[in-house]
Amino acid sequence: MIRLNENYLKLQSSYLFSDIDKRVAAFKREHPDREIIKLGIGDVTRALPKACIEAFHKAVDEMASDATFRGYGPEQGYDFLREKVAEYDFRRRGAEVDADEVFISDGAKCDTGNFQELFADDITIAVPDPVYPVYVDTNVMAGRTGNFSNGRYQGFVYLDCTRENGFVPGVPDAHVDCIYLCYPNNPTGAVATKAQLRQWVDYARQEKALILFDAAYAAFVCDESLPQSIYEIEGAREVAVEFRSYSKTAGFTGTRCAYTVVPKNCLAYDSGGAAYPLHRFWNRRHTTKFNGVSYPVQRAAEAIYLGDGPRQLREITDYYMANAAMIRGRMTKLGYVCTGGSNAPYLWIDAKTDSWNFFDLLLQKAGVVCTPGAGFGKCGEGYVRISAFNNPTRVSLALDRITKVLGG
Ligand SMILES: *Cc1c(COP(=O)(O)O)cnc(C)c1O
């Protein structure tokens, strides 16, 4: 008899985006002539930078000739890309990372989801609330939690992100073994300062814990005093793994390229307390279960760091950040308290009513779609997420309509 992994039965269906789609479809049926503007999207809207496209094309042409064709590449990624990552994303910002500590992959979703495979099944895990659901669900699948009750899985330590703590929770009183952090944050747009990250690094060192740091939105940090990488914090190499992605920063959501940094001196322990470098185990896992990102895609990613690439990338992030500033400015003027939107492409808005009420109000009265915060966790109730991934004309039109409805 083929038996199920019954942990899958504990999973809650994510109704968030299908609920949104249902309500939007119903609205369209009732008002076929009303045009809807979507400010709920977690996907980019701009095309790949020209530099990436040129490198992509050139690499595809190399595949067309026996002399330059490439078959299986190194599972960890080509050195040409790993070296650029180490140099431009880390060392130039004063963070020590070597090329052989960078594992190129097809997505930060897979990497943040898969990394937990390296750990024992009875470790204690802290997750933020609201949360990017991948951290939670992959640990539920692995059997590290009890059942779902009252909006939460038993067994996790939830880190409440609230207005009081500025949506950047502090370290827990209790011991935990593993902590998921994401800054700049999806969905709240909050960014941790160096002092706040230092507290986490100190905590992890003291507790022999590990921080899984999701920096998928690092490129949106404009304020030079804010950290883009956890390795900007002293001592972080021993206690932190960092995930990055080209998805949101370079428009690679459909092209697929990301990477994970596992420093060679980052440790985990066996039941007898003996220490092992995690690098060895992630390398083993990655080379066993993954066969590398395609050569043309890695060349396209490399182009981000070369010639006119950095400027083209900046132009695209500036474009989204101008939308974010416009949303932030106008919602604030209307009397709404907003987080994010200055070093992150998301705004987290205190709805002054429940999440779905506010969602329905914007949809029905303004024809604008946002994302109800309650869909990201218990602490998301009372908030909505508005995304800056759209074009400025549409954003401006959406804000005009919202102003008519909420401006009294
Ligand atoms: C979009 C996103 C990712 C990136 O996922 P990819 O698989 O690289 O496209 C990772 N983490 C968070 C929080 C995200 O929002």
Asked if the bond preceding 130 is cis, omega within 30° of 0, the reply is: yes
Which residues share a beta bridge with 210? 178
Query: pLDDT of 82-96, one tens digit each?
Result: 999 999 999 999 999
Q: Does residue 13 have a pLDDT over 90?
A: no
Confidence of residue 107 (pLDDT cuts 50, 70, 90): very high
pLDDT the model gives residue 249: 92
pLDDT the model gives residue 217: 98
**Angle separating helix axes 309-333 and 392-406, nearest 10 degrees:** 10
Query: pLDDT of 353-370, one tens digit each?
Result: 999 999 999 999 999 999
- Greatest alpha-carbon span in the chain: 69
For residues 45 and 369, what is the distance between their CA atoms, to the nearest angstrom? 16
pLDDT the model gives residue 15: 76
Ligand 1 atom nearest 111 alpha carbon = 7
What predicted TM-score, i.e. pTM, was given to this entire model? 0.97
For residues 390 and 394, what is the distance between their CA atoms, to the nearest angstrom? 7
CB 127 within 8 A of CB 158: yes
Q: What does the pLDDT average to over 257-282? A: 98
The mean pLDDT value of the chain amounts to 97
pLDDT the model gives residue 227: 97
Q: What does the pLDDT average to over 230-254? A: 97
Q: Does residue 14 have a pLDDT over 90?
A: no
**CATH homologous superfamily, domain 7-47+310-406:** Aspartate Aminotransferase, domain 1 (3.90.1150.10)
- Percentage above 70 pLDDT, the chain: 100
In this structure, how many other beta carbons lie within 10 angstroms of the beta carbon of residue 50?
A: 12
- For strand 368-369 and strand 37-38, is the pairing parallel, antiparallel, or unpaired? parallel
Confidence of residue 273 (pLDDT cuts 50, 70, 90): very high
What residues have CB less than 8 Å from 69, skipping those under 6 apart?
A: 62, 63
Does 97 contact ligand 1 (Cβ within 6 A)? no
Q: Does residue 18 have a pLDDT over 90?
A: no
Alpha helices in 150-235 (DSSP H): 194-207
**E strands within 184-298?**
210-214, 240-245, 258-261, 267-269, 275-277
pLDDT the model gives residue 40: 85
Of 405, 408, 404, 402, which Cα lies nearest the Cα of 331? Answer: 402
In this structure, how many other beta carbons lie within 10 angstroms of the beta carbon of residue 17?
A: 12
CB 343 within 8 A of CB 369: no
Q: Does residue 42 have a pLDDT over 90?
A: no
Does 250 contact ligand 1 (Cβ within 6 A)? no
pLDDT the model gives residue 17: 86
For residues 314 and 74, what is the distance between their CA atoms, to the nearest angstrom? 30
Among 242, 247, 348, 371, which is best to mutate for testing ligand 1, by the most ligand atoms less than 8 A from CB?
247
Does 247 contact ligand 1 (Cβ within 6 A)? yes
Q: What does the pLDDT average to over 381-402? A: 97
Sign, CA torsion 184/357/135/113: negative
Ligand 1 atom nearest 214 alpha carbon = 11
The topology (CATH level 3) of 53-305 is Aspartate Aminotransferase; domain 2 (3.40.640)
For residues 378 and 381, what is the distance between their CA atoms, to the nearest angstrom? 6
Q: What does the pLDDT average to over 303-329? A: 97
Taking the centre of ligand 1 as the mean of its atom positions, its distance from the CA of residue 258, in whole angstroms, is 9
Ligand 1 atom nearest 245 alpha carbon = 8
pLDDT the model gives residue 366: 97
Taking the centre of ligand 1 as the mean of its atom positions, its distance from the CA of residue 216, in whole angstroms, is 6
Q: Does residue 215 have a pLDDT over 90?
A: yes
For residues 394 and 189, what is the distance between their CA atoms, to the nearest angstrom? 21
Q: What does the pLDDT average to over 283-300? A: 98
Q: Can you give the residue ranges of every domain in the chain? A: 7-47+310-406, 53-305
Does 371 contact ligand 1 (Cβ within 6 A)? no
